[in-house]
Structure 1
Amino acid sequence: MTETHAPAAAPFSARLKHLLATSPASRPLARLRSLRNWPNRLRHPELATLYREDGYIDTLLPRFITPGTNCLDIGAHFGAVSYRMEELSQGGWLGIVEASPWKAALLRRRFATATVFETAVSDEDGTISFYENIDRPGFSSLSDRASRGETREVKVPVARLDTLLSEDTPVGFVKIDVEGHEYAALRGAEALLRRDRPVILFEAGAAADEDLDTTGYVRLFAWLTGELGYDIYAACDLVEGRPALDAEGFERHRVYPFTAFNFFAIPSGSGPETTADIGDQR
Structure 2
Amino acid sequence: MKNLIKCWVKETPVEPFARKVYDFFFQNNPPSNTDLTKDLVYNTQTFAVMKRVLKPDSNCIDVGCHEGAILTEMIRLAPKGTHFAFEPLPDLYQKLTVSFGNCPNVHIYDDALSDTEGTTVFQYVTSNPGYSGFRIREYEKPSETIEEITVRTNLLDNTIPEDTMIHLIKVDVEGAELEVFRGSVNTIKRNRPVIIFEHGLGAADYYGTTPEEVYDLLAGQCHLRVFLMEDWLRTNGQVCLKRTEFCQEFYHHTNFYFMAAP
Corresponding position of 1:29: 17
**Counterpart code for 2:225:** D
Counterparts of 2:29 and 2:243, CA distance in 1: 28
Counterparts of 2:27 and 2:252, CA distance in 1: 19
Counterparts of 2:204 and 2:222, CA distance in 1: 29
Counterparts of 1:77 and 1:162, CA distance in 2: 21
Corresponding position of 1:166: 161
User: Residues 245 and 214 of structure 1: is their aligned pair in 2 closer, same or farther, counting only changes over 3 Å?
Assistant: farther
**Counterpart code for 2:179:** A
1:65-104 to 2 correspondence within 5 Å?
A: 65-104=54-93
**How many aligned positions are there?**
242
Deviation for aligned residue 1:135: 1.3
TM-score, normalising length from structure 2? 0.83
User: Residues 68 and 247 of structure 1: is their aligned pair in 2 closer, same or farther, counting only changes over 3 Å?
Assistant: same
Q: Which is further off, 230-239 or 50-59?
A: 50-59
User: Residues 79 and 97 of structure 1: is their aligned pair in 2 closer, same or farther, counting only changes over 3 Å?
Assistant: same
Q: Which is further off, 146-155 or 222-231?
A: 146-155
Deviation for aligned residue 1:60: 1.8
Deviation for aligned residue 1:252: 2.7
How many percent identity over aligned positions?
Answer: 27
Structure with more relative contact order (C-alpha pairs < 8 Å, separation 6 or more): 1
For residues 164-222 of structure 1, give each alpha carbon's deviation from its aligned partner in whole angstroms, at most 9, with x where no partner exists.
2221322111111111111111111111111111111111123x559723634331111
1:135 and 2:124 correspond? no
**Counterpart code for 1:179:** E
Corresponding position of 1:234: 228
Supply the RMSD in Å over aligned alpha carbons: 2.7
- Which sections of structure 2, spanning at least 5 residues, go unmatched? 1-11
**Counterpart code for 1:253:** E
1:124 to 101, 116, 121: 116
Counterparts of 2:61 and 2:136, CA distance in 1: 25
**Counterpart code for 1:213:** Y
Q: Could you say what secondary structure the match of 1:212 adopts?
A: helix
User: Residues 243 and 96 of structure 1: is their aligned pair in 2 closer, same or farther, counting only changes over 3 Å?
Assistant: same
TM-score, normalising length from structure 1? 0.77
Corresponding position of 2:217: 223
1:235-250 to 2 correspondence within 5 Å?
A: 235-241=229-235, 243-250=239-246
1:124-273 to 2 correspondence within 5 Å?
A: 124-145=116-137, 147=139, 148=141, 149-206=144-201, 212-213=206-207, 215-241=209-235, 243-256=239-252, 258=254, 260-267=255-262
Contact 2:122 2:149 in 1 (8 A): yes
User: Residues 253 and 31 of structure 1: is their aligned pair in 2 closer, same or farther, counting only changes over 3 Å?
Assistant: farther
User: Residues 120 and 221 of structure 1: is their aligned pair in 2 closer, same or farther, counting only changes over 3 Å?
Assistant: same
**Counterpart code for 1:65:** L
Contact 1:46 1:257 in 2 (8 A): no
Corresponding position of 1:38: 26
Counterparts of 2:131 and 2:28, CA distance in 1: 21
Counterparts of 1:176 and 1:165, CA distance in 2: 15
